[in-house]
A and B are shown apart, each in its own frame.
Chain A
C-alpha cells in the first residue's frame, strides 16, 4: 500500500477515533486562519508568513462561554411584551440534561512579540487567562421545580452534584517554531505562570431520599472545596471566613506554575497535512492564602443518623411546642442549621493542573488560498474531559483578507457555526471571530458565546507562502 495513502487512512481513523471521545474547550476560527498570527496558540508549529509581529494589550481579547443546556428562553416566563417576568423553575429543570456543563474562558494578552531570527520563529506572549468550568446535574433544579414528591423511594433520590473548577493566572509564554525539513515542523512553547485565584471542588454532592411510606427525609452531604485568592483570606476566632486581609502587588506573582505546549505538523504533500498538539501540559502551585471549605452533616442532635441527616418527624411533645412556642420554634430552627454548617479552615498548599488540551487536525489545501480542515480536540477540565469535533474552511482573498467558517460539535452543543474574518490594513492585522454566530445574535439561547478580536502589527513585510507543483511549500520575503 502506498505509504501516503496509509498515512491518510491512519489519520482519518485517528480523527474519527479521537472524535468519539476527545473533547474541546475553546475552538476558535482563529486557530484555522492562516494569516492570523494567533493561530500559533493552537498550532505553535505553524509557519507564519510574517517576519515579525507585535501588539500591546489589544492583540488578543477573547471571551468564551460554553454551556450544554442553559437557555434564556427556558429559564423565564415572558409577559405580553415578550419580556422575561418570572423564573420558571420547572421549565428550566426540564430543559437540563442529567449532566450539564458550563465553561467560561477569557483571556487578554498584554504584550505579544513574534520575531523571526535567522532560523525559526520566536514567540513571546504575556497575558492573563481565566478558565472556569462547572459540571452540574439537574438534581437541584428538579428538586426545586418538582419538590421531593418527584423523588420518592430508595432507588430514586434527588441527587445534587456539582464540580466547579476555576483558575486565573498570568502567563508569560516563550515559544519557538522550527521547520525541521520540508515536511515536518515542530513547535514548543514554555509558559511561566503566576496563579491569581483558584477554586477547586473535590466534592460537592448531596442526596435526598424520601421514604415512600413515612416520607422520612434522609440527606447525605459531602462538600470539599479549596480556594486560593490574591489577598489574604483567613478564618477568624469565630470560625467566620474573612477576606479583608492585606493585599500587595507582590501577591500577583505568588503561586508559581509551569506549562508547555508541544506541536508537530507534518505535510504529506502539497494538499494534505496533519497537526498533533498537546497544550497546557503543566500545573500551578497554590502556596499562599489558601482556604478549605468542608461540609458534611454535623452531629447536632436527634436528627443525626450515622453521618446522615434523618428527619422522620417530631414526637408529639415537640410538635406541640413548635406550634405553640415561638422561642422553642426559633431554637429548633437554629438547631437545624447546626446540622449543615460549613467549615472554613486554612488549607495546605496544593497543585492544580492546567486544562491540558489534546489536538489532532488534518488539513486539505485545495490551493494556497483555500484550506479545509477537520479537527478533534479534547480538554481535560477539572470537571471532566470535554471533546469537540470541528470542520473548517479557510480562504484568503484579495491577498489581505482572510475568512474562515467553522462548524463544531460538542456534547449537547450542535449549533456552533463559526465565522472569522481578518484583514490586513496597511501594517495592521485586524481580526474578528466567533465560533457561534447564533450566540452573537441570541447569546442567551445559544449553546455558547464566543468572540475574539484583536489588532496586531506586522513590523516587517509579509512573506509569500506558496506551494509549488511538486507539493513543496515555499515562502519568500516580498
Chain B
C-alpha cells in the first residue's frame, strides 16, 4: 500500500509539473494584426507608339499623307470646280425691243369692197453680250414675248420668221401670232442660231389683214419684243478677254487644340493643278496670299507677288505650279487667305473658237506641310480624370517610387510636369514632375533612353489618392535642330512602381 501511495504521489507531481507552464505567453486574444515589411515591384503601364500610332491617337491621321520611306506631311487640298464657268460666259443679256412703223395707206379711202391684203416688214435686233460674239449657237434656253398693235384694229394673224434661227431640220424659224387670241411668245431652246453678223438677228413680219374700210391715211404699227433667259449650249464665234475673281478664305488645323506653340516649317510645298476645257488659254493671277495663326502676324506666302500661272487648255488635270514655302505656323493651325483672278483669252486673240456651256476652268491647290521643322517650344496640355479616393489603401506604404523609362527614336526633346489636382478644393495637391526631361533626343538617329524615378513619400501618397485629376503638361523642342519626323520613329514607354511597405495590417 505504501508503494501504491508513492506511485500515486509521483503521478500527482508529474501532473502538477505539466500544469505549471506559463499561460500568458500563449494568450493570442491580444493579437490584433500582421506586422509586414517588404517591397513590391509592380509594372504599372507600358506602351510602344510609332509616330503613326500617335497621329491616330491625335486623330489627325486623316490629314496626313505618307511617303514610301515613311515621311509624313500634313496634306491639304483645295478644290475649286468651275473657277471660271463657260455657262456664265455663254449668256445674252435680256433685252426689250420696241419699234414703230408708219406706212402710207396704199388704198383709196373708200373701198368698193373688202380687201384681203398682206403687209411685210423686216427688222434687225442685236443680242447684247459682254464677252462673246456669236456666229452660230445652239440655244440652251431663251424666250421671246411678242406684241403688235396697230391703228387698223384687228390685224388677224402675223407670221414672224427669221433666217437666223432654224429648227433641228434646218427650217427657218416661223411663228404665227394672233393678235387677239393666239400665242404671243415662243421658246428658243433647242433652236440653232446662225448669222453672218455676230450677235445680230433679223426678224421678218408677214401681217395678214382683211379691211372693210380704211379710214386713216397712214397705217401705224407698234412692235414689242421681250427676250429673256437667253443662254447658249454651244457657240462658235469670238471671245473677248474674260475674267473671274476667286477667293480662298479658310482656317486649317494641324495638331489638336491642346497643343500650343510655333513650328518653323521648312520645305512645305504648294502645287496647283488645273483643267481648262475652254478652247482658249487662260491664266491665274494670285495677287493676295497670306497666312496667320495664334500669335503669328499675317505674312505673305509668296514672294514676290503677284504670282501668274498659265492655265493651258486641256481636258485633264495637269500640274501647272509647284513651289517650296517656308514659314512659321502655330501648332494648332491657322488662317489662310488668297485672292486670285482667272482670265480667259488674256491675250485678246481674235480667232473663231468654239465654246460650250460645260467648258470650265477647274483648279486644285495641294499644300503639303512635311513633318520637318524646328521647334522652340510646343506645349501639350492634357487632363486625365482619376478617382482613387474610394480605394482602401493600406496605411503602411512607406515610400512609393515611380520608375519611368522612355526610349525614343523620335528626334524631339520632351519635358513634362504632372500636377495632381483636387477639383473640389481647387488646389494642386502635389507635383509629381517638375520640368523633368523625359526624353533627351540625340538628333543623330540613335535612340535615346531616359529613366526617371519619382519618390513619393507616405504623406504624398495621401495627396495623390485624394486628387481627382492629373494635369499633364508636356513641352517639346528640337534644341535648334531641323528635324524630320518619320512614321516609323517610335516611343517606348513604361511605368513601374516600387512600393516599400512597413506596418501593421489590422485584423
Contacts and interface: CB of A to CB of B under 8 A. Distances in A.
Contact of B42 (A217, A325, A400, A401): A217
B40 A149 contact: yes
A147 B501 contact: yes
B30 A85 contact: yes
Given A148-B41, A426-B4, A84 B385 contact: no
Interface string A358-402: 000000000000000000000000000000000000000010110
Interface string A415-442: 0000001010110001010000000111
A91 to B, nearest CB: 8
Interface residues of A, number: 54
B46 interface: yes
A439 to B, nearest CB: 10
Among A82, A84, A311, A320, chain B packs the most CB atoms within 10 A around the CB of: A84
Interface stretch (B8-16, B116-124, B184-192, B284-292): B8-16
A319 B44 contact: yes
Contact of A214 (B384, B386, B494): B494
Among B15, B31, B390, chain A packs the most CB atoms within 10 A around the CB of: B31
Contacts of A72: 25-26
Given A425-B4, A440-B18, A86 B43 contact: no
Contact of A311 (B10, B18, B43, B495): B43
Interface stretch (A73-81, A97-105, A113-121, A162-170): A73-81
A315 B37 CA distance: 30
A85 B507 CA distance: 12
Contact of A83 (B4, B14, B30): B30
Given A323-B387, A326-B387, A425-B4, A313 B27 contact: no
A130 interface: no
Contact of B36 (A83, A145, A426, A441): A145
A152 B45 CA distance: 19
B248 to A, nearest CB: 39
Contacts of B15: 432
Interface in A52-92: 72, 76-77, 79, 81-90
A149 B41 contact: yes
Contacts of B494: 214, 313
Contacts of B20: 441
Contact of B35 (A77, A79, A325): A77
A235 interface: no
Interface string B153-187: 00000000000000000000000000000000000
Interface in A114-137: none
A315 B46 contact: yes
A376 B85 CA distance: 114
B226 interface: no
A432 B14 contact: yes
Nearest to A311: B43
Nearest to B391: A329
B366 to A, nearest CB: 35
B39 A149 contact: yes
Nearest to B384: A320
A215 interface: yes
B38 A147 contact: yes
A316 B47 contact: yes
Contacts of B3: 398, 400
10 contacts: A72-B26, A83-B30, A84-B25, A84-B31, A149-B40, A314-B46, A315-B45, A323-B387, A432-B14, A441-B18
A145 B38 contact: yes
A444 B27 CA distance: 11
Contact of B25 (A83, A149, A398): A83
A366 to B, nearest CB: 23
A150 interface: yes
A324 interface: yes
Interface residues of B, number: 50
Contact of B24 (A81, A210, A312): A81
B43 A217 contact: yes
B34 A87 contact: yes
A214 to B, nearest CB: 6
Contacts of A89: 34-37
Contact of A313 (B32, B34, B43): B43
Given A421-B10, A441-B21, A313 B45 contact: yes
A441 B20 CA distance: 8
Contact of B43 (A144, A152, A216, A432): A216
Nearest to B506: A86
B91 to A, nearest CB: 59
Contacts of B10: 401, 421, 423
A21 interface: no
Interface in B406-430: none
B8 A83 contact: no
A210 B41 contact: yes
B384 A324 contact: yes
Contacts of B33: 86-87
Nearest to B28: A84
A460 interface: no
B85 to A, nearest CB: 50
Interface of A: 72, 76-77, 79, 81-90, 144-150, 152, 210, 214-217, 311-316, 318-320, 323-326, 398, 400-401, 421, 423, 425-426, 430, 432, 440-444
Given A81-B24, A214-B494, A313-B45, A88 B38 contact: no
A383 B18 CA distance: 32
B495 to A, nearest CB: 7
Kindly list the 10 A-B residue pairs having the minimum CB-CB distance in the complex, ordered from nearest: A147-B38, A149-B39, A313-B43, A323-B386, A313-B46, A215-B41, A86-B35, A324-B385, A319-B45, A423-B7
Contact of B386 (A85, A313, A324, A398): A324
Nearest to B26: A444
Nearest to B39: A149
A90 B7 contact: no
B388 interface: yes
A87 B43 contact: no
B496 interface: yes
Contacts of A311: 43
Given A324-B385, A425-B7, A313 B21 contact: no
Given A86-B31, A214-B494, A440 B41 contact: no
Contacts of B386: 323-324
A73 to B, nearest CB: 8
A216 B43 CA distance: 6
A345 to B, nearest CB: 34
Given A313-B494, A316-B493, A423-B7, 15 more contacts: A82-B25, A83-B25, A83-B30, A84-B30, A88-B35, A89-B34, A145-B38, A146-B37, A147-B38, A149-B41, A214-B494, A314-B46, A316-B47, A432-B15, A441-B18
Contacts of A87: 31, 33-35
Contacts of A323: 384, 386-388
Contact of A401 (B7, B38, B501): B7
A337 to B, nearest CB: 17
Nearest to B2: A398
A388 to B, nearest CB: 23
Given A214-B46, A326-B390, A86 B32 contact: yes
B372 to A, nearest CB: 27
B498 interface: yes
A427 B34 CA distance: 53
Contacts of B31: 76, 84-87
B27 to A, nearest CB: 5
B387 A324 contact: yes
B450 to A, nearest CB: 15
A90 B38 contact: yes
Contacts of B495: 313
B314 to A, nearest CB: 51
